[in-house]
Amino acid sequence: MTGFVSFVGSGPGDPELLTLKAVDRLKRADAVLFDDLSAGPILTHVRSGADLVGVGKRAGRLSPKQNHVSQLLVEYAETGQRIVRLKSGDGGTFGRLEEEIEALRAAAIPFEIIPGVPSACAAAAAAGIPLTRRLTARRVQFVTGHDMHGALPRDLNLVALADASATTVVFMGQRTFPAFAQMLMTAGLPADTPALLAEGVSTPAQALHRMSVADLAERLGTVISDAPALILYGALANG
């Protein structure tokens, strides 16, 4: 028997931001493998009796290895059940979706991908700002703030990332932002470029902090929240 896997993007945390298709798949699932940020009220949509398996990974905490998560997903699907792999935000954005897809393809297990509200879009909405603006912010770029080992990636395109006329969103970048900001400013980004630190977006713990890139780098050099956070910088970040 071969099951079926639905990769479901849960959005940034607010259950009201789930898509109708996401809710449908959660209600019909026999098992749900969920990320840490997809827990809580979102899981109330799962039917009674379904297996709930936490497989989330968080920076600085003991977490399951990705190959273990992929193998577990295959093993559940091979029982012939309907499986939901619940990923925070949109699973295709820094969610290691491809590695899990490759594991399913190798095992000949069918799947679908249901997108979720990207956390970057939710952060901008919470801050009351757009991600683009005619003439002054024509480009949006997403970048990860750490590599597989938790360090700042070495292959960053600093010319593009130091463009203050773009809206840049940094995922998982609190710990590396002080060093990243210094590299950006050396590459030409003005130190007073507006920046936004968005913590716990769309949850009761939401907090938004507006300041300059230089000031945010100084702040994150001493204070880092445990809440999931995004950093946005560029002309629009000051609202």
Tokens matching residue 68:
């273990």
59 and 175 in contact (C-beta within 8 Å)?
yes
Q: What are phi and psi of 6, to 5 degrees?
A: -110, 115
Q: Where are the alpha helices (DSSP H) in the chain?
A: 20-28, 66-77, 97-106, 119-127, 158-161, 177-186, 213-220
Alpha carbon distances (Å) from 54 to 71, 128, 136, 157, 179: 14, 33, 43, 35, 33
Give me the active site residues, please.
Answer: 35, 57
84 and 33 in contact (C-beta within 8 Å)?
yes
Per-residue DSSP letter, 187: T
